[in-house]
Structure 1
Amino acid sequence: MSMSVTITAPSVKHILLDSLVVMKIVKHVDSELHAGISEVSGDACAGVLTGLVFLDDSRLEITNCFPTVRNEPVIDDDANAAAQYEEQKQQEMLDMLRKFRTMNIDYEIVGFYQSHQFGAGFSHDLVESMFDYQAMGPENVVLIYDPIKTRQGQLSLRAWRLSTAALDLASKNDWRPELVKAAGLTYQNMFEELPIIIKSSYLNNVLMSELALSKSYSSEKYSTRHFDLGSKKSLEKSVRAMMANVDELNKSIQSLTKYTIDKQRHDNMVFSMTQKRQQENEARAARGDPPLPMDDIKRQKAPQLQTRNGLLDELLASFDTNALADFSKTVTSENITKLFIAEAVAEEKVQGSKDRTLSSVSSTR
């Protein structure tokens, strides 16, 4: 991922998302979930977003999308087969963009989308993909779709992009604690979220209005799903994922504490050796002898943080935990509200049935 790129601050402040894109993303994810493809391959549903950038009003308009081909397992670690399959994927993507251009559809790539349960799933691969897309265009974003929350009655689509500081570190592929601290980077400012406005056509708005006013349209048939309280499994999964992330963070804290102690010890040793060498050189200069070099002191090996990607995994785990906590908080508050509404509706139905029973008894008398 390390490459020299010119980091430019993005100017887009909000996203105008076409309703067609929303429907295509939902259909793509649901079809793969029902078919069990995600469980077999282990990859998240992903696709490419196309649209236009309007710099005048700082708007990114996403007008279309299409799914990307899933990675096929490589047998016996065949590097040639993996390279051929990657080339085939790129060719299929270019063919789709060429068809968009022929059909007079917006064919400019403005990002990609992925589905993650509970709105979490920020990994090293996702950061690499975000860096590649933002290196192509600073206005590119990633849409994270949560199928669990959507099935519970609330559409969950959030747009993210790497901040300028995170993009700079990703270009260097160096996430050492010193550089992360110097950049002022935390899990809270590593990603930037953009507000999304979903746009529908006028004909679609007229159709929805006619359905709402139509007498044949029965809303009672679909009203019970909004009072669904069966989110125990999803809440349990999110809490278990949070526990796993917290365990990883505890291990990382131990490694970081050891690294900090070793770094302080190393710095103190280098400082004392430098002071001692300077005193020796002053004494040698007074005697007319040549000074001793400092190269052996500079070659003292500094301690290394015992993690694979520096602080990147810790930042991602913290952000992932924050996303899971937001999901749990939202689901819990919504369930409490639904519970009170369900109790009120049940009491009203019971009271109405009692009144009808009393009235029927009085009429028979």
Structure 2
Amino acid sequence: MPALVTGQLLGLDIGSVLEVTNCFPFPSRGGEEEEEVEADGANYQLEMMRCLREVNVDNNTVGWYQSTYMGSYQTAELIETFLNYQENIKRCVCIIYDPQRSGQGVLALKALKLTDAFMELFRNQNFTGEKLREQNLTWQDIFQEIPVKISNSALVSAIMTELESVSPATQSDFDRLVLSTNPFMEKNLEFLIECMDDLSMEQQRFQYYYRNLSRQQAQQQAWLQKRRTENMSRRALGEEPLPEEDPNNPIFKPLIEPSRLDSYLITNQISNYCSQINGFAGQSFIKLYMMDAVHENN
């Protein structure tokens, strides 16, 4: 798997438009202590911002970018990063770039943000089934994709025009005509199967919780029935009845419901893989029909 990269996005928040005008990468360091890496990373960012300010470049942080492999980005770490950024930046975005998908002649670039309803639940760490039903929050309500418009300055456009090949076709056009689909399809199917296994494990975890909950409720009912019978006997003898709940009894200790966040993220990732496979399969059929027509004409 190729190394993933990430970096800071700089720009301006103007009205309803968030302009990303510059960026710089974060250093990648392995094998060092986490505290040292965080301290060095913070100093590096401050120094980069100072240098950019000196050359009159927009140095306002508006989010971050990160690369992904086959569209695998729906993780709890991504959500925590969003929250850390939004402590200081109300409207921040994350730009996701997939170099493998872009290598096939398609610009695989998307800008994401978290929905307000999901962020509120995540701050409270309350992902129980009851709370999710109250908020009417589904796995589709985690991320919100923001439309992206790419534009160049007049100087960059002029340089690109000078560098543009006189050939009517570009390398991206040829990449889109490649018939081989094995690497992309195999990896997507492999990751899809792994996600299905993870989702199955999450379902087993919830089934185990509900079995224990049903067993506990049955034990509580049996204990209450026994206590009520005992209290009837005590009342008949003129004695004070005993309380019908005993907080010291283990069967009255509430069971902690597992968080549904992981299952939501896994379901989101499964949907992403299915969309990629579906889209790529459709393009492959078009290529095959086109090649069949070319062979018939020849």
Instruction: Please state which band the TM-score falls in when normalised by the shorter chain.
Output: 0.7 to 0.9
Structure 2 residue corresponding to 1:302, chosen from 254, 257, 278:
254
Residue 52 of structure 1: aligned partner: 12
> How far did residue 50 of structure 1 move?
1.1
Structure 2 residue corresponding to 1:62, chosen from 20, 33, 38:
20
Q: Secondary structure at the match of 1:292?
A: coil
Structure 2 residue corresponding to 1:90, chosen from 38, 42, 55:
42
Q: Secondary structure at the match of 2:9?
A: strand
The answer on whether the counterparts of 1:112 and 1:143 sit within 8 Å (CA) in structure 2 is: yes
Residue 96 of structure 2: aligned partner: 144
Instruction: Give matches, 1:156-171, under 5 Å.
Output: 156-171=108-123
CA distance in structure 1 between the partners assigned to 2:219 and 2:113 by the alignment: 42
Residue 71 of structure 2: aligned partner: 119
Q: Secondary structure at the match of 2:107?
A: coil
Are 1:333 and 2:282 counterparts? Answer: yes
> How far did residue 232 of structure 1 move?
1.0
Are 1:234 and 2:194 counterparts? Answer: no
Are 1:342 and 2:294 counterparts? Answer: no
> How far did residue 339 of structure 1 move?
2.3
1:256-297 deviations in Å (ceiling 9; x for gaps): 122123223434544665677678779978958376374527
The answer on whether the counterparts of 2:224 and 2:244 sit within 8 Å (CA) in structure 1 is: no
Residue 4 of structure 1: aligned partner: none
Are 1:315 and 2:259 counterparts? Answer: no
Amino acid at match of 1:63: T
Amino acid at match of 1:226: R
Q: Secondary structure at the match of 2:21?
A: strand
Amino acid at match of 1:292: P
Over 3 Å counting, the alpha-carbon distance change for 1:97 and 1:263 in structure 2 is same
Over 3 Å counting, the alpha-carbon distance change for 1:122 and 1:91 in structure 2 is same
CA distance in structure 2 between the partners assigned to 1:341 and 1:103 by the alignment: 52
Structure 1 window deviating more from structure 2 (60-69 vs 175-184): it is: 175-184
CA distance in structure 2 between the partners assigned to 1:221 and 1:254 by the alignment: 50
Residue 58 of structure 2: aligned partner: 106
Structure 1 window deviating more from structure 2 (271-280 vs 254-263): it is: 271-280
CA distance in structure 2 between the partners assigned to 1:272 and 1:111 by the alignment: 56
Over 3 Å counting, the alpha-carbon distance change for 1:158 and 1:280 in structure 2 is farther
Structure 1 window deviating more from structure 2 (149-158 vs 218-227): it is: 218-227
What number of residue pairs does the alignment pair up?
295
Q: Which has the higher helix share?
A: 1
The answer on whether the counterparts of 2:99 and 2:108 sit within 8 Å (CA) in structure 1 is: yes
Tell me, which stretches of 5 or more residues in structure 1 are unaligned?
1-32, 39-43, 75-80, 351-365
Are 1:247 and 2:207 counterparts? Answer: no
CA distance in structure 1 between the partners assigned to 2:109 and 2:222 by the alignment: 56
Tell me, which stretches of 5 or more residues in structure 2 are unaligned?
none
Over 3 Å counting, the alpha-carbon distance change for 1:284 and 1:198 in structure 2 is farther
> How far did residue 136 of structure 1 move?
2.4
RMSD, aligned α-carbons: 3.0
1:32-65 deviations in Å (ceiling 9; x for gaps): x9xx6x1xxxxx21111111112x3x21111111
CA distance in structure 2 between the partners assigned to 1:95 and 1:283 by the alignment: 79
Over 3 Å counting, the alpha-carbon distance change for 1:301 and 1:100 in structure 2 is same
> How far did residue 303 of structure 1 move?
3.0
Q: Secondary structure at the match of 1:339?
A: helix
Tell me the TM-score normalised to structure 2 length. 0.85
> How far did residue 186 of structure 1 move?
2.3
1:287-335 deviations in Å (ceiling 9; x for gaps): 5837637452786223345x6xx22221111111111111111111112
Structure 2 residue corresponding to 1:135, chosen from 84, 87, 101:
87
> How far did residue 166 of structure 1 move?
2.2
Residue 219 of structure 1: aligned partner: 168
Are 1:258 and 2:208 counterparts? Answer: yes
The answer on whether the counterparts of 1:160 and 1:194 sit within 8 Å (CA) in structure 2 is: yes
Amino acid at match of 2:202: S
The answer on whether the counterparts of 1:227 and 1:342 sit within 8 Å (CA) in structure 2 is: no
CA distance in structure 2 between the partners assigned to 1:271 and 1:104 by the alignment: 72
CA distance in structure 1 between the partners assigned to 2:176 and 2:66 by the alignment: 25
Over 3 Å counting, the alpha-carbon distance change for 1:263 and 1:290 in structure 2 is closer
The answer on whether the counterparts of 2:7 and 2:65 sit within 8 Å (CA) in structure 1 is: yes
Over 3 Å counting, the alpha-carbon distance change for 1:103 and 1:221 in structure 2 is closer
Over 3 Å counting, the alpha-carbon distance change for 1:332 and 1:94 in structure 2 is same
Over 3 Å counting, the alpha-carbon distance change for 1:331 and 1:275 in structure 2 is same
CA distance in structure 2 between the partners assigned to 1:235 and 1:103 by the alignment: 45
Over 3 Å counting, the alpha-carbon distance change for 1:95 and 1:290 in structure 2 is same
